[in-house]
């Protein structure tokens, strides 16, 4: 059975997709002041998952161009939202079998590659919280774009990621 922490990651992803659903390419490229573009946010989170689940394991990145385009500390960019969703879907789909295989013992292990000195479980929490951080930003962007009928609150957590013990 999939570890409960992976269910929480998947729920954060689901909520993130729900928050940006309906943003067009033109809208996805817009910036409001210093706020990131929605397209940048999608690519940035794809890049974080790529770094966390592939690069930190010593594997080749699936979309290496994301590092320069939407990586942390890089100049602001406004890529096509469809291109960023494609990258996000490729990376998250490729990570699924490995994420499904993780055990409680695995989550207490550490990576052998450069990066934060934290357990795999903490890295998963970091990605989950990163999603929620940018989900709020994406919701604000959609409001500034004039979108209505936006998702409210957290959504169907009881169906998709309810509490369960390990």
Provide the domain limits for residue 97: 9-152
Helix and strand counts by DSSP (H, E) for the chain: 8, 0
Burial of 41 (0-12, 13-18, 19+ CB in 10 A): buried
Q: pLDDT tens digits for 84-98?
A: 999 999 999 999 999
Residue 85 located in a structural domain: yes
Q: How many residues does the chain have?
A: 166
With bands split at pLDDT 50, 70 and 90, how would you rate the model's confidence at 162?
low
Q: pLDDT tens digits for 31-60?
A: 999 999 999 999 999 999 999 999 999 999
Separation between Cα atoms, residue 139 and residue 102, nearest integer Å: 31
Residue 162 located in a structural domain: no
Quote the number of domains for the chain.
1
Separation between Cα atoms, residue 103 and residue 101, nearest integer Å: 7
Residue 164 located in a structural domain: no
> Hey, CA dihedral for 25, 31, 32, 36, is it positive or negative?
positive
Residue 52 located in a structural domain: yes
Joined together, the tokens standing for residue 125 give 């929490």
């Amino acid at each position: 059975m999939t570890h409960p922490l992976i269910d929480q990651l998947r729920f954060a992803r689901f909520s993130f997709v729900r928050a940006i659903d309906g943003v067009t390419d033109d809208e996805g490229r817009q910036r409001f002041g210093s706020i990131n573009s929605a397209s940048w946010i999608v690519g940035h989170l794809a890049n974080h998952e790529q770094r966390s689940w592939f690069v930190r394991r010593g594997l080749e990145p699936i979309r290496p161009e994301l590092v320069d385009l939407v990586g942390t500390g890089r100049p602001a960019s406004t890529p096509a939202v469809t291109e960023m969703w494609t990258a996000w879907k490729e990376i998250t789909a490729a990570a699924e079998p490995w994420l499904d295989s993780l055990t409680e013992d695995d989550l207490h292990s550490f990576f052998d590659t450069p990066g934060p000195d934290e357990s795999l479980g903490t890295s998963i929490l970091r990605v989950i919280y990163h999603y929620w951080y940018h989900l709020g930003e994406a919701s604000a962007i959609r409001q500034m774009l004039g979108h209505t009928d936006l998702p409210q609150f957290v959504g169907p957590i009881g169906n998709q990621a309810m509490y369960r013990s390990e």
